[in-house]
Amino acid sequence: MNGVQHHLLLCATPTKALCGDPAVGAASWDRLKQLVRDLGLEDSARPRGVVLRTKADCLRVCCEGPVLLIWPEGITYGGVTPERIERIVREHVVGGVPIEEWIVRRTPFSRPLPPG
């Protein structure tokens, strides 16, 4: 295995639907799973590394849901429909270009503090 390129976390079917329609979240999750398979992003021999996906209950971004968090960039997209998933995966995950107008939050990894 060549490592992990991205980890996609989708708040798809929250137990408390505070920020989005659970039906849209479920459809977005189904589309994400299919795209990752169809594009070969789960292939452990992929030179750029695999793309992991996780269905989350809540990502604590209670606006414009469903939301999709992409690591390692720490970019959260809002209003994630199946159609948006298509563009996000193709343009951001595969192409490396985030879609600025759909970003609702940036939470980059921070460096650990030195002991002391």
Q: Tell me: the pLDDT tens digits for 104-114? A: 999 877 766 66
Query: pTM of this prediction?
Result: 0.87
Q: Tell me: the pLDDT tens digits for 86-97? A: 999 999 999 999
Q: Tell me: the pLDDT tens digits for 23-72? A: 888 999 999 999 999 999 999 999 999 999 999 887 777 677 789 999 99
Helix ranges (DSSP H) in 1-116: 22-38, 82-87
Residue 48 counted as domain residue: yes
**For position 62, which CATH number holds?**
3.40.30.10
Domain containing residue 49: 4-106
Structure tokens at 19: 């920020």
76-84 contacts: CB < 8 A, separation 24 or more? 76/103, 76/104, 76/105, 76/106, 76/107, 77/102, 77/103, 77/104, 78/102, 78/103, 78/104, 79/20, 80/10, 80/25, 80/28, 81/24, 81/27, 81/28, 82/24, 82/27, 82/28, 82/30, 82/31, 84/28
What SS3 state is found at 7? strand
How many domains is the chain partitioned into structurally?
A: 1
